[in-house]
Amino acid sequence: MTAKIISGTEIAKQIRQELKQQIADLKQKHNLVPGLATVLVGEDPASQVYVGQKEKTSLELGLYSERHDLPASTSQEDLLKMVHRLNNDPKIHGILVQLPLPKHLNETEVLYDINPRKDVDGFHPVNLGKLMIGEPDYLPCTPHGIQQLLVRSGVQTDGAEVVVVGRSNIVGKPIANILLQKKPGANATVTVCHTGTRDISAHTRRADILIVAAGRPKAITADMVREGVVVIDVGVNRIGKTAEGKAILAGDVDFDGVKEKASAITPVPGGVGPMTITMLMLNTVKAARLAAGLE
Ligand code: GUN
């Protein structure tokens, strides 16, 4: 079997078209323009690329966008001041502080101080708690994007054995929680593997749907999966540079080997990546609707 490729690029394009229409309607019917503020502290090159993509997509879809670039030496106090200012700005419906922050800053404290109503990343404990009890306002963007990839590719999650590799707060824990809810596009039996798991292959070989966010290239090889599995590869590893100096990306899954056994698989790049930004846009539209009392 050679796997069908699940194109995040194509599915993201579809969702962006839908959002563009919704944003135009909000403007026309309610004179409401959803506003997103991004905050980047320091000069991490990957973070600069991500924030640039978020800003570009906001503008393409017709959102109001503000970008705040702060020096790496920014104090905790000044960063919190910026967050509080954005919390109180009515033009801004969503606030995104790009992670990771420089080491001297307290990430948890910053995330706690974002108004949960403006937490379009879905990282505030209030929003994670609401997700866990099945009453979410905002789903974290990468896990929500993964769920949409599955749903829009016609992959059955109801009753499926889902195995997640990785237990991060950004991907592993929230995707496990999303897929175990008793809801359409979920209702799966979920196992989460991590660095403390004794025999990862014993779990991954049982998976109908395998979601890999391990942060390590080739963490999953063909011998670790069963025929017909659906594989979602969340990894973004920079494994080298082209002659022109552009980063060469690889996922966490040995794509060439695993695609011969899988029924469907996401590529890297062009899989989960474009979905994350798209779901951020979706959350920003939702934040504006909530703020205006439209939901
Ligand atoms: N760093 C890596 N992924 C993300 C994300 O989804 N949101 C934020 N704020 N930072 C990130």
Q: What is the CATH number of the domain that holds 92?
A: 3.40.50.10860
Residue 82 lies in a domain: yes
210: domain range?
141-272
Q: Which atom of ligand 1 is nearest to the CA of 276?
A: 6
Domain count for the chain, please give it.
Answer: 2
Q: What is the CATH number of the domain that holds 160?
A: 3.40.50.720
Q: How far is the CA of 234 from the centre of ligand 1 (A)?
A: 13
Cα distances (Å, whole numbers) of residue 109 to 41, 75, 80, 132? 15, 13, 9, 21
Choose one of 121, 124, 144, 171 to mutate for the ligand 1 pocket test, by most ligand atoms within 8 angstroms of C-beta: 121
Rg (CA), the chain: 19
Catalytic residue numbers read 54, 98, 121
> Who lines ligand 1 at CB under 6 A?
96-99, 121, 141-142, 170, 276
Q: Which atom of ligand 1 is nearest to the CA of 96?
A: 9
**Distance between CA atoms of 44 and 193, rounded to whole angstroms?**
29
Beta bridge partners of 160: none
Pair (193, 266) in one structural domain: yes
Q: Is 0.95 topped by the overall pTM?
A: yes
Cis peptide before 269 (omega within 30 of 0): yes
Q: How far is the CA of 228 from the centre of ligand 1 (A)?
A: 31
Q: Whose CA is nearest to atom 11 of ligand 1?
A: 99
Q: pLDDT per position in the chain (295 positions), as tens?
A: 799 999 999 999 999 999 999 999 999 999 999 999 999 999 999 999 999 999 999 999 999 999 999 999 999 999 999 999 999 999 999 999 999 999 999 999 999 999 999 999 999 999 999 999 999 999 999 999 999 999 999 999 999 999 999 999 999 999 999 999 999 999 999 999 999 999 999 999 999 999 999 999 999 999 999 999 999 999 999 999 999 998 999 999 999 999 999 999 999 999 999 999 999 999 999 999 999 999 9
